[in-house]
Amino acid sequence: MGDILSLIEKAERGLDAEETQRLAQRMVKNQFTLEDLRDQLRQIRRLGPLASVMEMLPKVGPLKGLDTSSVDEGGLRKVEAIINSMTPHERNRPDVLNGSRKRRISMGSGTSVAEINRLLKQYKQMQKMMKGVQGKWLRRALGSGAGARG
């Protein structure tokens, strides 16, 4: 079943409730930026080693085949280094990233342009997923609200 109670306690100690609320609101408003992603990664890292956090999750449903031995802590540091190597404008508007900007970021973060492209692709997928979740949530909220009025 995992150790959900310990995970909740760890989250309450390690996560900033105000920051988590701010990030959630930005996600709902579809304003999630690379800076927000970096802040979220920092909060996750405050919980401790990612493998130990993942071991606390129940191994059922979509988490059934979760392999905690393949967790790459270094990957989180790379992502943070890439985002930190961007200018604030680039973090908020990643669509401005062209080849020369990506080369500069790769030099500053000690990564390759391919890793930057991979991060940007994952970021776009996250945005698309959040937009889909937001749409479902709004339809559900409006559907239940309309039924109450009519």
| Per-residue pLDDT tens over the stretch 65-91 | 555 556 677 888 899 999 999 999 999
Nearest CA among 130, 119, 108, 135 for reference residue 75: 119
pLDDT band with cut points at 50, 70 and 90 for residue 1: very low
Which region holds residue 2: left if phi is over 0, alpha if psi is between -120 and 50, else beta?
Answer: left
pLDDT of residue 31: 78
The answer to whether residue 128 scores a pLDDT higher than 90 is no
Average pLDDT over residues 3-13: 65
Q: 4-137 is classed in which CATH architecture?
A: Orthogonal Bundle (1.10)
